[in-house]
Each structure stands twice: as C-alpha cells, then as structure tokens.
Amino acid sequence: MKHGTRREKRLRNRIIATAVLALLIILATTFAGILAPNDPYATSASSIRMAPGAQYPFGTDNLGRCVFSRVLYGGRTTIAATFLLVFISFLIGTVIGMLCGYYGGILDTVLMRLADIMLAFPQMVVAIAVAGILNAGMTGAMVALGITMWVSFARLARSHTFSIKNEAYIQAAFFAGKSDFYIIMVHIFPNLLAPVLTNALTQIGTTMIGLSGLSFLGLGVVPPKAEWGSMISEGRAYIQIAPWAVLFPALATIITIIIFNYLGDAVMDYMEV
Amino acid sequence: MVLLEGKNLNKCFNDKQGYTNALKDVSFSLNKGEVLGVVGESGSGKSTLLRVVSGMIPPTGGSLLYKGEEYTGKRPRKTGEFLQVIFQNAKSSFDPRMTMEKAILENGRGKKDRAEILELLKLVGLEERQLSKRAGELSGGQCQRMSIARAFYSEAEILLCDEITSALDVSTQARVVELLQKLKSDGKLSAIFISHDIALVSMICDKIMVMKGGRCVEQGTTAEVIGSPKDEYTKLLIDSARRQSV
C-alpha cells in the first residue's frame, strides 16, 4: 500500500513536470507574436545564412529570415494542426467505437472491417498517397493522416463499450427506462473517457511526426508559411553551410515529441496504478 | 390480488454444445405483499427465471402476466415500470462515477423528490450524507440497501432479488434480511427472492419454489415446503441447511 502510494506520487510528479514543459511549449508558440524578435516572413538579402547571434538567436536561413521566429511560428502551425487532428480523430473514432460496441451487429461488422482494412496499410504510406492526391496543403495532410487515425480510438472505445454495457449499472439504467442515447452519453462515455484520452495524449507525438513528415516531403504546408517539417526540408539544401537552419526546427520537433510522448506514457502508467 | 404470474415458462439456449433447456414449464404466481422464494443449486435455472421474468431475455415459450395483462417479450425499459431488479453485486449496479443521489434520481422516471429519497434512506437505515457518496465509497451492505432504496423510489410494485445476500458477510447479510423482513411486515414488499440458501429463504418468504435442472420440483407455502417436503431434492436441501446450521 505504502509502495503503491509512493509510486503514485512519483508518477503524479512526472505528469506535472512534463505537463508544465508541454504547457510552456504551447504558450511559447501561442504567443509567438509577442516572443518572436523578428518578422518570421521578412527576407533580408544582407543577412542570409547568418550564424546564431544576438539579433538572430537561431541564425537566419537562405532568405535571411529569422530561424528563431520561424521556429516559434512554425510550432504554432504544427501544434495547432496536431491538436485539431487528434481531437477530430478522437471524436469520430470514439463515437464510431461506442456505436459499434453498443449496438454490435451489422454496423459493428461493417465499420470494424473498414478499420481492419485501414490498419492493413502503413499509416504514412496511405497519408502520402492521399495527401498527394488531395494536394491541399496542411488541410490535405490532416485529412490524409485522419483517414487512418480514428481507427485506434474506435477500437479502444469499442472494446471498453463492450465491457461497460454488460455491467449491472447499465441493466439498472434500462430498468429506469433510460434511452440508448442517455446510456451512451451518461454511463458509457464518461467511463471510457480516461483510457481514450490517454490514447489521445500518446497519439500527439505520432501525429506531429506524421504532419512534419508530410510537410518535409512538400505535402503539408505551402511555403513561405513556417512549419517545422517544411523548415527542415528547406534548410536541407544548404545544411553544410548553415546547419542551424535544420538543427533548430529539428530539435524543436524532437523535444516536443519526446515531451508529449513522455506525458502520454506517464498518464497511461498513472491510470494503471 | 395476483400481481405477477408466469405460465409454463420455457427458455432454450442454443450454444456450442447444442440446445440447453434452462427453464422447463415453470409456473408461479405472486400476490401483492407476498414474497416468493426461489431456491436451488447452481445451474437449476433460478437466475434464468429472474432474467426471463424481468424481461432481460425473452422466454422461448409460455407467458408472463402483470395484474392479468400479458407482458411477455417486453424489455426492461417497459417492465421497469412495475418491477425492479436488485442485483447480486450491488456495487456494480451503480455507475462508479455517479453519486448515490443521482443514481436514485435516475430511477425516478422524471420524478425529483428529495424528501421521498430521505424517507427511503431512513427506511433502509442509511443517512443523508451517504447520498453524496459513490459506490466505491460505500460498503457492500450499504450499497445493497441503497439499491433497495433506489428500487422503491421507482414506485415499481415488485422487487426481483437475485442472490442479494450471497456477496455479503454474515453480519451484513443479517442486516439486509432484517430490512427485508421489516419491509414485508410493513406490507411494502412484493418480491421474488432468489437464493441457494433455503434457510434464508424460509426466513423471508411466504411461498417457496424449489428448482432443479430448469424444472420446478416443488412449490407451496413456506410452512408446507419446509415442514413436509415432498420431493427428495427439497428434503436434501433442507437437510444440508440443517447440517450447516448445527
């Protein structure tokens, strides 16, 4: 018992520490307009590929744009798109999963076979193909990743709905005359929220890699809009002359992904305690 | 006045081993203010009978009547208007995220009467402060009494009690039995009480139905069944209960 409590405390501290770091990143990118020392889109022929210094903390790129300002603005694009995509996938996947688990039958068979088909292809391959066909910038990249992302939420929500619907309190709700909608919203959804939200947290890192990857391949944001993946892609051409143009957006991507993955893992461990 | 009747109830399950007749021509009747005990070993069909009577599963044959009106095939949303089930594991019959007050109110079919809830709590021997608790914060016995209060709040006339004391310790069992006896003596209880414990059933019930292999092997008033059992199986159950109590 004492050991369990100590472990719980340790995990809680881990969650708080990583959540604070994640919040700092979110705040820094949200308030990029205030924190950025330079205009992220302003080109300057006199300051092309300048090394990091007082005026440009992360140096400048091939067009003389401030890398630090672009990393802040790029983070806003990447993080906002990631959160939006995870949220939409969570919503769609959870609703589909709950309906399949609750009603079963033909609806469950059809939707879960569709999910199986989605899982049969590697997510990134499908995303590249779809983003390439759509050719719609960041929205296209989000749709491309979202096509397969809802599946994990749906399967998780379905399996939890299956076990919850056999609980005696669901039977009690039937005897109370409650509708299917009421039972799903009041009894099932709140009771599966914790594991599904934990899954959402662990998906943030993967989604960020996916979106940055598509942007890196030129299938995400359209230049000159700042985004970490596209910044790495642009800087790649002159990496030997100005490595900072690649290093800082890459570091920002790696650090953010590690923090969100760590947060997701910590929350998952905490839920299992 | 006959409240509930089951006539020639049959229930057949089709599983991997083939057809299983869980209920074979079972008939019973329950009068207002009466408690009918259903006893038998595991697999005798007691719980299947409860599930059929409550509408959780439809019977394969036979009919069910409430106040002379047939309700065979009606599902719990409808049957819940006149009967309520008290589950074996009372804790799991409450949403772990819901307070007791919300859970009781949920069973009121739109009725929001806190004064009545407080009265019911008094009746089952619980306190007002326990209304803000969740199932995990109450003991098994308290949850069981809370579920009786919840059932009464629904204004359903019949309680179907499924082994409601089997998951409780002896002293808590005694308190729940006392409560049921009190409700019965107040004329507030019409119930079917399912249990494997014939001694317990004889303390609460007016009538006893003994089941074996899906059949009703004996049925009568408690005095008849306990005093002069006719079936060998009933005698065996009574003997084992006596041996256990020695």
Are B60 and B12 in contact, with CB atoms under 8 Å apart? yes
What pLDDT is stored for residue A2 in this prediction? 46
Q: Give the whole-angstrom CA distance, residue B100 versus residue B90.
A: 12
Share of chain A above pLDDT 70, in %: 98
For residue A177, which residues of chain B lie inside 8 Å, CB to CB? 77-78, 80-81, 109
A169 reaches B (C-beta below 8 A): yes
* Of residues A155, A158, A146, the one with CA closest to residue A87: A146
Q: Cβ contact (<8 Å) for B97 and A191? A: yes
In this predicted model, what pLDDT tens digit does every residue of B167-205 receive, in sequence order? 777 777 787 888 888 888 887 889 999 998 898 899 889
Range B7-13 average pLDDT: 95
Number of A/B CB contacts below 8 angstroms equals 60
List b or e across A48-82, with b for residues whose CB sees 16 or more CB atoms inside 10 angstroms.
bbbeeeeebbbbbbebbbbbbbbbbbbbbbbbebb
For residue A178, which residues of chain B lie inside 8 Å, CB to CB? 77, 106
Q: Where are the alpha helices (H) located in A104-217, listed in sequence order?
A: 105-120, 123-134, 137-165, 168-175, 180-182, 189-216
Whether residue A243 is predicted with pLDDT greater than 50 in this model: the reply is: yes
pTM to 2 decimal places = 0.84
Residue with the bigger pLDDT between A124 and A102: it is: A102
Range A155-178 average pLDDT: 95
Q: Give the whole-angstrom CA distance, residue A94 versus residue A198.
A: 13
Neighbours of B7 (CB within 10 A): 17
Q: A interface mutation test: which of B50, B95, B107 has the most A CBs within 10 A?
A: B95
What pLDDT is stored for residue A1 in this prediction? 43
- Shortest distance, CA A139 to any CA of chain B (angstroms): 38
In this predicted model, what pLDDT tens digit does every residue of B19-45 receive, in sequence order? 888 999 999 999 999 999 999 988 899
What pLDDT is stored for residue A248 in this prediction? 96
The pLDDT-based confidence of B245 (bands split at 50, 70, 90) is low
Range A172-178 average pLDDT: 95
| Residue B114 neighbours by CB under 8 Å, 6+ apart | none
Q: How far is CA A70 from the centre of its chain?
A: 20
- Shortest distance, CA B222 to any CA of chain A (angstroms): 30
Helices A67-103, A105-120: crossing angle, 10 deg rounding:
140
Chain A residue closest in CA terms to B93: A169
**What are the structure tokens assigned to A194, written together?**
């914790």
User: Which candidate from B81, B85, B108 shows the least CB-CB separation from A171?
Assistant: B85
Q: Give the whole-angstrom CA distance, residue B103 versus residue A45.
A: 70
In this predicted model, what pLDDT tens digit does every residue of A112-139 receive, in sequence order? 999 999 888 888 888 888 888 887 788 8
* Of residues A204, A245, A207, A254, the one with CA closest to residue A226: A245
Chain A residue closest in CA terms to B98: A187
In this predicted model, what pLDDT tens digit does every residue of A3-56 receive, in sequence order? 567 888 888 999 999 999 999 999 999 999 999 999 999 998 999 999 999 999
- Shortest distance, CA A176 to any CA of chain B (angstroms): 5
In this predicted model, what pLDDT tens digit does every residue of B43-101 receive, in sequence order? 899 999 999 999 999 999 999 999 999 999 999 999 999 999 999 888 999 999 999 99
What pLDDT is stored for residue B190 in this prediction? 92
In this predicted model, what pLDDT tens digit does every residue of B150-163 receive, in sequence order? 998 998 999 999 98
Mean of pLDDT over chain A: 91
